[in-house]
């Protein structure tokens, strides 16, 4: 039985959904860096549109950073954000240890004692 256009489209859609779901799960497990841009913006009383205009970044890209959905940030962008918000990179970035990693290290520490 040959594949019809409809069946092929449904198959593509299912593949795209599976890829999105696996990518989302993978990112949640890997990313231990939190970007506290929203906190710093609130402290400096700056809105998304105002900051985006000051540092010449699209509203969409700044929103991705603000909502912790970014996979990476250029140092030049981080530099401009720090200038505009009068802060240090450490005020914006925070490392949060993964619970799974922390549990494995704790159990290996206990074996050594």
Instruction: Determine how many CB atoms are found less than 10 A away from the CB of residue 38.
Output: 13
Question: pTM (2 decimals)?
Answer: 0.62
pLDDT given at position 75: 97
Q: Looking at residue 32, what is its pLDDT?
A: 87
Q: Which residue positions in the chain have pLDDT lower than 50?
A: 1, 3-8, 23-27
Nearest to 83 by CA among 34, 35, 40: 40
């Amino acid at each position: 039985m040959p594949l019809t256009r409809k069946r092929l489209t449904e198959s593509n859609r299912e593949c795209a959904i599976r890829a999105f779901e696996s990518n989302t799960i993978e990112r949640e497990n890997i990313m231990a860096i939190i970007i506290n841009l929203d906190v710093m913006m609130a402290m400096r009383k700056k809105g998304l549109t105002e900051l985006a205009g000051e540092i010449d970044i699209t509203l969409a890209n700044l929103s991705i950073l603000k909502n912790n959905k970014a996979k990476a940030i250029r140092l030049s962008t981080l530099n401009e954000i720090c200038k505009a918000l009068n802060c240090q990179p450490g005020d914006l970035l925070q490392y949060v240890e993964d619970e799974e990693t922390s549990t494995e290290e704790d159990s290996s520490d206990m074996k050594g004692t």
